[in-house]
Amino acid sequence: MKFRALNKKIHFENLKKEEFCFAAKDLKIFVKENNIKTSRLGISISSKQSNAVGRNKFKRRTREAIRGFKENKNLDILVLGNKESSNLSSRELSNIFKKHPLLLENESN
């Protein structure tokens, strides 16, 4: 799945609603279908939770875990991490993403 950046404050605020949230292992995932022609991905982890190296590792692992999904729908995905979730591996992140109902439909075989 190919993504553009989800980087506008208003987009983050639109996604941060309880109805789009899925939480597992101290990780919050917000997924919503969008009306544009591409999927967008936003990854956020506070600098208070981890240092720069840990945050960048978390972002790389998250992108790697998401990459295995097929693009059947155009989705906005926001991933919020914290100190515990910054240590998750790509495989653990992928297993968590597969549990989300909208991402489950897009899973590749």
Average pLDDT, the chain: 85
The answer to whether 103 and 64 are in contact (CB under 8 A) is no
Mean pLDDT of the region 49-76: 87
Quick one: how far is CA 19 from the chain centroid? 16
| Residue 107 pLDDT | 56
CA dist 75 and 33 (Å) reads: 4
pTM for this entry: 0.84
Q: 3-105 adopts what CATH topology?
A: Ribosomal Protein S5; domain 2 (3.30.230)
| Residue 109 pLDDT | 47
Mean pLDDT of the region 27-36: 88
Give pLDDT tens digits for 32-60.
Answer: 888 888 889 999 998 888 889 989 999 99
